[in-house]
Amino acid sequence: MNTYRLDEITKRALEGPFMDEKDFDMKLMKRTRELVREYNIRYDPKEPVCTDDSVADDVYEAAKRLLLEMGFYCQTTKRSIMFEEDEIRGALRSLPESIVLGTGKDAVPMYMRRVEDPRPPAIHAGPTGTLCTEGEVYVKTMRSFAQEDVIDSVGAGTLATIDGFKIRKGAPQEFRAARVLARWAREAISQAGRPGMHINDVAVVSPEAKLCALNPAYGLRASDGIIVSQMIELKTSFEHLSLIEHLQSYGIHIGNLMTPILGGYSGGPEGTAIVNVAEHIAGAICYSASYHYCSLTNVKNLNGTDRPGLWAISMVGQALARNSEIMSVYDCYCASGPGEEMLLLEAAAGGIAASVSGMNLMGCGSCGGKLVDHSTGLEARMLKEAGAAAAGMRRSDANGILNKILPRYEERLDISKAPKGKTFQELYDLASARPKKEWQGMYEKVVGELSDLGLELSI
């Protein structure tokens, strides 16, 4: 993004149409439902991955109209940042077909993938916002991801405490946590023998605290990334735009994080897909993001691996893959926890649906990201291996496999019923950061079962 564009965005945030935030939410809710009806977009539970190209194109057109009519709401000024259609088209034409993650021998390409693309998806992995114990456990958890050779990038988990002190938004300890998280991530990838590996974020809440992680010597380098969030739904703030200003000058990759709530303001899977595509476009223009995290979550079950969730993310991926150069990354949030077959099946289903729909991958958020130390590298390996195995697969064939996997876990997706599994410390050897026999054996068992369904994974 050049300075002029950010100045223009700021000007529009100051001068755009004024509206109370609650009124924006209600208008978004109403207009999204109207667009779903106007374009006759219908979710079919029997088809977790939609195979009709025209539906994907309709979702994209509806999303573009929604953004043109509603704008990108700035919470700071209570005004909408408005766009013109030609402006959107021009900004999206400038996006690259590929980017490089990391540096040196550990650099890997990440491609703009298409529907049924034969190229395997890149995967950003890590605790994915899950609470982790500070210190050695955190470093070894991160190392468990970096040691998986199929994983391309690692991202930070969230600390509940730093030096035993509870972390609160905006407090001094949050700024310290940002520095320490970056240093620990560098330590983890170095221990794994991949010192140039891409690190995609430090998980602190305040945008200004993230700036403390930027340090080429022991923190995040220009070859790494920082996530800049949108607020639910289709909203930003001066805090976040100001973070963009500094990240642009530092030269680091920017990740646009969207957390659409299926069952929230955007309604069901159809409306959620429309709104999230609009959020991708807004992030491409206003955040100048290198990649975009679609962290869709069911309002009831805190996961994105149920049928409506998989359908919605598949529509987002296909709409963008067919109509833009926006690199979308499916952020896989699961209801179950490590040590459970269900988690591996959820990860496999998410990897299949996202891969055939033209997306890259991120994960896994086990137990909805709510339990401390419930995150390991093995479920992320399953996500990537399933996505790689599904690369180039026809969507109809993917549906055949998904309709065999889903019945094995979908009745247990209620967050109160889903098995919570075990902690990283229980499932991994801390000295080597390798999975214990119990968890590795379960992984191999599920790999064999998926092979019987026609999905060939590496162990």
Per-residue pLDDT of the chain (459 residues; tens, 9 = 90+): 455 689 999 999 999 999 999 999 999 999 999 999 999 999 999 999 999 999 999 999 999 999 999 999 999 999 999 999 999 999 898 899 999 999 999 999 999 999 999 999 999 999 987 899 999 999 999 999 999 999 999 997 899 899 999 999 999 999 999 999 999 999 999 999 999 999 999 999 999 999 999 999 999 999 999 999 999 999 999 999 999 999 999 999 999 999 999 999 999 999 999 999 999 999 999 999 999 999 998 988 889 999 999 999 999 999 999 999 999 999 999 999 999 999 999 999 999 999 999 999 998 999 988 899 999 999 999 999 999 999 999 999 999 999 999 999 999 998 888 999 999 999 999 999 999 999 999 999 999 999 999 999 976
* Alpha helix positions (H), 251-306: 269-282
CA distance 93 to 81: 20
Q: Any alpha helices (H) in 39-133, and if so which ranges?
A: 53-70, 85-93
Query: What count of other Cβ atoms lies within 10 Å of the Cβ of residue 46?
Result: 7
| Whole-number Å distance between alpha carbons of 234 and 168 | 25
**E strands along 8-140, which residues?**
72-74, 79-81, 98-101, 108-111, 123-125, 131-132
CATH superfamily, domain at 98-452? Monomethylamine methyltransferase MtmB (3.20.20.460)
Per DSSP, 418 falls in state S
Which of 1, 33, 30, 19 is closest to 72 using CA atoms?
A: 19
Contact 353, 385 (CB under 8 A): no
Contact assessment for residue 373 and residue 341, using Cβ atoms and an 8 Å cutoff: no
Angle at CA of residue 250, ends 249 and 255, nearest 5°: 100
User: Please, are residues 393 and 362 in contact by the beta-carbon 8 Å criterion?
Assistant: no
Q: Which residue type occupies 324?
A: S
434-435 and 428-429 beta bridge pairing? antiparallel
Can you point out the beta strands (E) in 133-231? 153-154, 158-159, 161-162, 165-166, 198-199, 225-229
